[in-house]
Chains A and B, each alone.
Chain A
Amino acid sequence: MSTMVNFVSGPLVWIALVTFVVGTVVRIVLMIRTIKLDKTVLPAMTVKHSLRSIFFWTLPYGSRSMRTRPFFSGLSYLFHLCLLALPLTVMGHAVLWQQAWGIRWWSLPSGVADVMTAVVIFAGGIFLLRRIMSPEVRNVNTWRDYVILVIVLLPFVTGFIAYHQWLDYRTIIILHMVSGAVWLMAIPFTWLQHMFMFFFSRAYMGSEFGAVRNARDW
């Protein structure tokens, strides 16, 4: 069991991090090369309109699209916020970094982190239900979409269970680390790449609408 723990908290973390970073960099480099082939894209892009579009689409309720679904947009916003903040600021992770690299890092009070984890799990559950119940979403969803959502949620579910010390702590913590590694590695290879592609596609559309067509896109 302890060799297992050593593996998942050592080499596996490295494998996941390297896959995530290299995969992401390769994706972005390939995308830029691709975009350059299409000679009409880059000359039409401007920093101003790119940032304008990204701004309104990262602002809570910044677009009409978000305002037409107040509950779902709010939930989605909280989900993404907690999802990104938790892995970086949860106390357990900060302790590990301090032990491994001696980095002192600010961390969230554990009560707050606990509530945020619950938010991620709750919102994720709602998203899963929406994918199943909503005809227009179910129609275009395949098993891949459900698997990706489960990959995203598992680290949070196992983290939540581990924090509350339900079930066998050791097993859960191994599951937590494995699922976290899978999550990181899945980002460049699935639609989870929207994590960074968001900025590029918004910049493109923001420029198409703003710079080329003098119109708003939010």
Chain B
Amino acid sequence: MAVADPGFDLALAKLTPERIEQVINSVLSQAVAERMKLFLKTCVHCGLCADACHTYLSRNRDPDFAPVAKVRDTLGVMLKKKGRVSPEFMKNAARVAFIECGGCRRCSMYCPFGIDIATMIMTIRRICSLLGMVPQFIQDTTNSHSATSNQMWVQPDDWIDTVMWQEEDAQLEVAGLRIPLDKEGAEVMYSVIAPEPKVMAQLIANIAVLMTVAKVDWTMPSADGWDNSNMAMFSGDLEIMGRIEREHWERALELRVGKMVMGECGHAYRGAVYDGPKWLGWQGPPLPMVHAVELYYDLLREGRIEITDKLTEPVTIQDPCNIVRGRGLHEKLRYVVHALCDNVVEMDPKFEHNYCCAAGGGIINCGAPWKMARLKSIKIKATQLKKTGASLCITPCHNCHHGVVDIIGHYHIDMRTSFLIELIVKQMKIPEGLGV
């Protein structure tokens, strides 16, 4: 269970009980902690949250993996001992908070009182971040956010170069296509997560094809703020979390666009719409934020794109936590998928009740040292996927996408994954005159 992670082990060597006590009490003396205490006092220890948790279900119902036990063993002890806990204790608490819970909030839907367990876990991550005890990989993405304002150390010239390269690629599909950078007053600013230019650049060409065919007046920023992802939100570095969300929105305001549309990602939506504005003291986002699923839905409904080719193979849908349990987009997602596929096999349970992929919430970003722990904790998803008998799993979220790829690899499931945009550009009609 204990694997070597320099993020934990180096911190362990440096931490003193005094420092731990000081940090825990500084975080837990704030208003947010009072809310936690209220929740802990209301909890009747009924254990109903256990069955809601994929790690508990996946780890042969080991009671220590039930949400209530995770909180008891971490935040519960910190409160009881008033912060006087050992560095070793903190290391274990960090492991639980970063690896065994992604804050998918499913347990809150099974708790009769709606106790906000995910927020408690995120509070522990906040403490860990202030103590410098964060898994090395996710801390590195936070450092990247801090230095470059994007998650993957993409340099400014790399970003522009990638966009131009993808513009050329997309011109092979649609003649004369442009990716308008910094177009002031456009209807839409489109933002991506940094792994797109870094490792999945074709997704940028795909969206350019869609926007051009649907005649959307769109733009992308050339300057920092183009990345909508936010790993600092999950590593507990809330100062950086707020800073990059502000930069993201400021770029859109500077370009005076009508709204922001983001690619198929879940946590980015959450960061831009909920966590960012909350931290910055805004009532909500300054402009409408439209998730890619909503954009596709609108374009299909308005007849701005036409699907001419439908998949006949059995297809299933992974409902991402942050846009379904966190936004209620499941019906629109179904509309889009049914427009593309004839044979949709639903997972059980589905919609808001679907199991998390165990990659989101920053877990997959904790990197290679924790991959096996993560995959052990998501056996239930493998069972769920196998049961559908589908040969394709649609994952409209980057974390779900990589999470499901890892699951089908590890559990030998005969299935592949796809983003919606990949299917849309393959199956839609390129109107005469636009074709090459």
Instruction: Name the A residues within 8 Å of B41 (CB-CB).
Output: 191, 193, 197
Who on chain B is nearest to A40 by CB? B278
Let me know if B328 and A214 touch, CB within 8 A: yes
Shortest B122–chain A CB gap in Å is 13
Partner of B114, one of A140, A204, A212: A204
Shortest B347–chain A CB gap in Å is 14
B353 within 8 A of A: yes
Which residues of chain B from 167 to 211 have any CB-CB distance to chain A below 8 Å in the complex?
none
A26 within 8 A of B: no
Let me know if A38 and B35 touch, CB within 8 A: yes
Q: Mark B28-41, 1 if CB is under 8 A from A, else 0.
A: 00011011001101
Let me know if A35 and B112 touch, CB within 8 A: no
Count the A-B residue pairs with Cβ separation under 8 angstroms: how many?
122
Q: Mark A189-218, 1 if CB is under 8 A from B, else 0.
A: 001011001100110111011001111111
Who on chain A is nearest to B71 by CB? A140
- Measured in the bound complex, the distance between the Cα atoms of B283 and A43 in whole Å is 8
Instruction: Name the A residues within 8 Å of B48 (CB-CB).
Output: 65
Shortest A86–chain B CB gap in Å is 20
Instruction: Name the B residues within 8 Å of A35 (CB-CB).
Output: 34-35
Binds A, one of B59-67, B301-309, B411-419: B59-67
Who on chain A is nearest to B44 by CB? A191
Let me know if B45 and A141 touch, CB within 8 A: yes
Shortest A29–chain B CB gap in Å is 13
Let me know if A53 and B64 touch, CB within 8 A: no
Who on chain B is nearest to A68 by CB? B51
Shortest A149–chain B CB gap in Å is 9
Shortest A160–chain B CB gap in Å is 24
A135 within 8 A of B: yes
Partner of B47, one of A34, A53, A140, A215: A140
Partner of B50, one of A38, A63, A136, A141: A136
Who on chain A is nearest to B109 by CB? A217
Instruction: Name the A residues within 8 Å of B66 (CB-CB).
Output: 136, 139-140
Instruction: Name the A residues within 8 Å of B328 (CB-CB).
Output: 213-216
A37 within 8 A of B: yes
Let me know if B72 and A140 touch, CB within 8 A: yes
- Measured in the bound complex, the distance between the Cα atoms of B69 and A127 in whole Å is 19
Let me know if A139 and B64 touch, CB within 8 A: yes
A41 within 8 A of B: yes
Shortest B322–chain A CB gap in Å is 9
- Measured in the bound complex, the distance between the Cα atoms of B114 and A191 in whole Å is 15
- Measured in the bound complex, the distance between the Cα atoms of B43 and A212 in whole Å is 24
Instruction: Name the B residues within 8 Å of A136 (CB-CB).
Output: 47, 50, 56, 61, 63, 66, 68-69
B13 within 8 A of A: no
B327 within 8 A of A: yes
Shortest A168–chain B CB gap in Å is 34
Shortest B270–chain A CB gap in Å is 9
- Measured in the bound complex, the distance between the Cα atoms of B39 and A208 in whole Å is 15
- Measured in the bound complex, the distance between the Cα atoms of B45 and A198 in whole Å is 14
Let me know if A138 and B116 touch, CB within 8 A: no
A145 within 8 A of B: yes
Let me know if B113 and A197 touch, CB within 8 A: yes
- Measured in the bound complex, the distance between the Cα atoms of B56 and A148 in whole Å is 27
- Measured in the bound complex, the distance between the Cα atoms of B51 and A37 in whole Å is 33
B312 within 8 A of A: no
Let me know if B45 and A57 touch, CB within 8 A: no
Instruction: Name the B residues within 8 Å of A40 (CB-CB).
Output: 278
A64 within 8 A of B: yes
Let me know if B112 and A38 touch, CB within 8 A: no
- Measured in the bound complex, the distance between the Cα atoms of B405 and A85 in whole Å is 54
Let me know if B63 and A214 touch, CB within 8 A: no
Instruction: Name the B residues within 8 Å of A213 (CB-CB).
Output: 274, 325-328
Let me know if A201 and B283 touch, CB within 8 A: no
Who on chain B is nearest to A218 by CB? B109
Instruction: Name the B residues within 8 Å of A206 (CB-CB).
Output: 114
- Measured in the bound complex, the distance between the Cα atoms of B68 and A197 in whole Å is 18
Once A38-B31, A140-B45, A213-B274 are accepted as A-B contacts, the answer to whether A135 and B63 lie under 8 Å apart by CB is yes
20 A-B interface contacts by CB (under 8 A): A34-B31, A38-B34, A65-B52, A65-B109, A136-B47, A136-B66, A136-B69, A137-B46, A138-B63, A139-B66, A140-B63, A191-B45, A194-B42, A201-B115, A209-B108, A209-B109, A213-B274, A215-B324, A215-B325, A216-B352
Residues on B lying within 8 angstroms of A by beta carbon are 31-32, 34-35, 38-39, 41-48, 50-52, 56, 61, 63-64, 66, 68-69, 72, 108-116, 274, 278, 281, 283, 324-328, 349, 352-353
5 tightest A-B CB contacts, nearest first: A205-B114, A37-B31, A139-B63, A38-B31, A137-B47
- Given A136-B50, A136-B69, output 11 extra A-B contacts at Cβ < 8 Å: A38-B32, A41-B35, A57-B114, A65-B112, A136-B61, A136-B68, A138-B63, A139-B69, A145-B45, A194-B44, A218-B109
